[in-house]
A and B are shown apart, each in its own frame.
Chain A
Amino acid sequence: MSALVVAHNTYREAIRDRVLLGILVAGFAVLALTQILKPLALGEGLRLTVDLGLSTITFLGLMVVLLVGAGLVSKEIERRTIYNLLARPLPRAAYLAGKWAGLSAALWCVALALGTGLATLVALMGHAGYVGAIIEAVYLEGLELTVVTAIAVLFSSLSTPVLSALYTAGLFVGGQWCDDLRRLATHFPDAFGRVLTVTADVLPDLSLFNMRTLASNGTPTTLGHLLIASAYALLYCGCALALGAAALESRDFK
């Protein structure tokens, strides 16, 4: 219950922030830009629209996480607004879960708005058959942003906003290369190979949430993939938040 109150407040903070409005405007501008660039795509206008539209959702969502999420806890500590909450019967873990849930909800709204814009645009282009795959791709991107938000909240409870943003961006980039790291590990001697494998296991496997290529061909994914990706996101978020809660539990608020 108290985590929901914190989540509602965080959601309210995010949607009243001008950053989010700017991100939405930028997202729709990119969708409009795809229509201007279409004649240059040599007959691949649809692929360009879907691919660029989906990439924009991920990129802009990541921007929100880095600009808002990376300072979610540390800014509250710095501004001392956290006193208003933690001096009440609110467990620190519930506070952290609420912060994560609130920002994730705002990001889902961004993904939903831009995804709806993209799907509508594609349908207006006469390719309504692509809409199903686009919806699935947007859902997976929403999950990806939820995982990245959990990572940002974890770092935010440990460090300054700038460092949290850097660490989160680093893990986001590393998370795109998980499969490549595992493949690379097979080419190295045992010890170093094992280090690479463990690194790939610890990093968030964000390639699991990437179906942009499938969607730009109008090919839907399987229910199994969607379920596995959902379960993985839930588990990864749980672990990141548990670590963040443990870090926050031992913190003093001077």
Chain B
Amino acid sequence: MKLGTVQNSTAPAEFHPARGPRTGGADDRDEAAVRVEHLSKSYRSNWTLRVTRGLEDLNLEVRRGEVFGYLGPNGAGKTTTLKILTGLLKPTSGQAWLMGEPVHRVSSRRNLGFLPEQPYFYDYLNGLEYLEMVAKLSGLGGADAGRQARHWLGRVGLGARARLVLRKYSKGMLQRLGLAGALVHSPELLILDEPMSGLDPFGRHDVRDLILEQRERGVTVLFSSHILPDVETLCDRVAIVIGGRLERVGTVSELVSEQGGSVEIRCAGAVVIEVPAPWRQALRLNERPGETLFTLSDPRFLQPVLAWMVESRLAIHAVTPQRGALEQLFLATARSATASTAETTEPERRSA
């Protein structure tokens, strides 16, 4: 079974979705940078006492050294998950570990760098003072904290604004400062909640570079984002969470190929040929000026189709696999999850 595959809440506790039947104890957890088991979170309104589910039986594993994208529409439970991991929220049930340490322990955050969604700062501090403070809180000594603060201010392009009070920083500058704050103590694990939000294309490019640089250093990066092309470029694996439930986990290519990517075959000139019956459904033919374009919707037929084309003396110019975009997968997953939720709630409503 693949890592982090979706698991039903009815599965026995000894069985882990990521690894199948558990053989070890705490050692298993140590191998993962982030491990989440049967995590649920509900919120109760103080006024109406209505319970809202934020997360439902979430199981997830982020391996050490990988860049992991956490996707989902607004209100899907992404921020809730990240806040539980960083100790800002307490789970209703289930457990989570960072670098093998349970998240309820303060020490689990020793090697963690966190950038919250739309970070807020102390506007009476300047950039340097802020970074020195967070560096010290993350365990760096006075001189070291100052040195690292100056280094990271320069690294995120704020070196010239080190003494400017934060109330005068623009939104993009604050986002960069937040990133510097997450990185100032050289953590082994980075959790970034919407790190590209509010950034212009230059800022997004810099953040992408920073994430890739951290991956080179062996840092594990878990980040949530709405900007799917960035996720596609950066991530080793992605997870899609919808309505508080984990719907999909895998590498981008695995997930996208599940979508059933097509193959384009370009041949020279106009072709007068009849497509054999077995592939007639899967192979579409499109005449263009000077060339003929075949679109094979099922890549399993590629070898026999190519063999047939060679036999039929067609002049093949190019064979191009057409990969489905992550965006299509994301939208399809969201739609099917919404539809299945509606199906399960409708009979309940009828019986109520």
Contact at B124–A88, with CB atoms within 8 Å? no
| Given A81-B121, A87-B109, A252-B88, 19 other A-B residues pairs in contact with their CB atoms under 8 A | A1-B136, A12-B129, A13-B122, A80-B120, A81-B120, A83-B86, A83-B88, A83-B119, A84-B134, A87-B87, A87-B114, A87-B116, A88-B112, A88-B134, A88-B138, A90-B106, A253-B83, A254-B43, A254-B83
The contact size tier of chain A is 20 to 34
- Closest Cβ neighbor of A94 among chain B residues: B106
- Known contacts A83-B119, A88-B109; A253/B134 CB under 8 A: no
User: C-beta contact mask, A66-89 vs B, less than 8 Å → 1, else 0?
Assistant: 000000000000011101111111
CA distance in complex: A16, B165 (Å): 12
Partner of A5, one of B83, B120, B137: B137
Taking the closest CB of chain B, its distance from the CB of A79, in whole angstroms, is 5
11 A-B pairs within 8 Å (CB atoms) are namely: A13-B122, A17-B124, A86-B88, A87-B86, A88-B134, A88-B137, A88-B138, A89-B106, A89-B109, A89-B138, A253-B89
Asked if B125 is at the interface (CB within 8 A of a chain A CB), the reply is yes
Contact at A16–B124, with CB atoms within 8 Å? yes
Interface centre among A6, A12, A17, A87 (most CB of B within 10 A): A87
Partner of B88, one of A2, A9, A87: A87
Asked if A193 is at the interface (CB within 8 A of a chain B CB), the reply is no
- Closest Cβ neighbor of A79 among chain B residues: B120
Taking the closest CB of chain A, its distance from the CB of B75, in whole angstroms, is 13
Taking the closest CB of chain A, its distance from the CB of B272, in whole angstroms, is 67
Which residues of chain B are within 8 angstroms of A80 by Cβ–Cβ distance? 116, 120
Please report which residues of chain B, range 58-100, place their CB below 8 angstroms from some CB of chain A when the two chains form the complex.
83, 86-90
- Closest Cβ neighbor of A4 among chain B residues: B136
Interface centre among B119, B136, B139 (most CB of A within 10 A): B136
Q: How many A-B residue pairs have CB under 8 A?
A: 75
CA distance in complex: A91, B88 (Å): 12
Taking the closest CB of chain B, its distance from the CB of A174, in whole angstroms, is 28
- Closest Cβ neighbor of B130 among chain A residues: A84
CA distance in complex: A228, B15 (Å): 61
Partner of B133, one of A1, A9, A252: A9
CA distance in complex: A60, B138 (Å): 36
Asked if B107 is at the interface (CB within 8 A of a chain A CB), the reply is yes
Contact at B137–A90, with CB atoms within 8 Å? yes
Which residues of chain A are within 8 angstroms of B129 by Cβ–Cβ distance? 12
Contact at B120–A83, with CB atoms within 8 Å? yes
Contact at A83–B116, with CB atoms within 8 Å? yes
- Known contacts A81-B120, A83-B120, A84-B119; A252/B89 CB under 8 A: yes
Asked if B110 is at the interface (CB within 8 A of a chain A CB), the reply is yes
Taking the closest CB of chain A, its distance from the CB of B286, in whole angstroms, is 53
Chain B: how many interface residues by the 8 Å CB criterion?
A: 28
Asked if B17 is at the interface (CB within 8 A of a chain A CB), the reply is no
Partner of B125, one of A2, A12, A91, A253: A12
Taking the closest CB of chain A, its distance from the CB of B128, in whole angstroms, is 13
Taking the closest CB of chain B, its distance from the CB of A48, in whole angstroms, is 38
Interface centre among A16, A79, A252 (most CB of B within 10 A): A252
CA distance in complex: A253, B86 (Å): 11
CA distance in complex: A80, B193 (Å): 14
Please report which residues of chain A, range 143-164, place their CB below 8 angstroms from some CB of chain B when the two chains form the complex.
none
- Known contacts A85-B137, A88-B134; A9/B106 CB under 8 A: no
Which residues of chain A are within 8 angstroms of B88 by Cβ–Cβ distance? 83, 86-87, 252-253
Asked if B181 is at the interface (CB within 8 A of a chain A CB), the reply is yes
Taking the closest CB of chain A, its distance from the CB of B288, in whole angstroms, is 56
Taking the closest CB of chain A, its distance from the CB of B111, in whole angstroms, is 9
- Closest Cβ neighbor of A17 among chain B residues: B124
Taking the closest CB of chain B, its distance from the CB of A99, in whole angstroms, is 13
CA distance in complex: A144, B96 (Å): 44
CA distance in complex: A254, B42 (Å): 12
Partner of A89, one of B119, B124, B139, B181: B139
Taking the closest CB of chain B, its distance from the CB of A89, in whole angstroms, is 5
Please report which residues of chain B, range 119-177, place their CB below 8 angstroms from some CB of chain A when the two chains form the complex.
119-122, 124-125, 129, 133-134, 136-139
Which residues of chain A are within 8 angstroms of B87 by Cβ–Cβ distance? 86-87
Contact at B90–A89, with CB atoms within 8 Å? no
CA distance in complex: A80, B119 (Å): 8
CA distance in complex: A80, B86 (Å): 14
Which residues of chain A are within 8 angstroms of B43 by Cβ–Cβ distance? 252, 254
User: C-beta contact mask, B35-54 vs A, less than 8 Å → 1, else 0?
Assistant: 00000000100000000000
CA distance in complex: A1, B140 (Å): 11
CA distance in complex: A91, B110 (Å): 12
Which residues of chain B are within 8 angstroms of A1 by Cβ–Cβ distance? 136
Contact at B114–A91, with CB atoms within 8 Å? no
Taking the closest CB of chain A, its distance from the CB of B135, in whole angstroms, is 9
Which residues of chain A are within 8 angstroms of B136 by Cβ–Cβ distance? 1-2, 5
- Known contacts A84-B181, A85-B137, A88-B137; A254/B89 CB under 8 A: yes
Which residues of chain A are within 8 angstroms of B107 by Cβ–Cβ distance? 89
Please report which residues of chain B, range 8-46, place their CB below 8 angstroms from some CB of chain A when the two chains form the complex.
43
Taking the closest CB of chain B, its distance from the CB of A195, in whole angstroms, is 30
User: C-beta contact mask, A217-254 vs B, less than 8 Å → 1, else 0?
Assistant: 00000000000000000000000000000000010111
CA distance in complex: A80, B178 (Å): 13
Which residues of chain B are within 8 angstroms of A83 by Cβ–Cβ distance? 86, 88, 114, 116, 119-120
Contact at A81–B137, with CB atoms within 8 Å? no
**Across the A-B interface, the 8 shortest Cβ-Cβ residue pairs:** A87-B114, A87-B86, A253-B88, A80-B120, A88-B137, A83-B116, A16-B124, A5-B136
CA distance in complex: A56, B122 (Å): 31
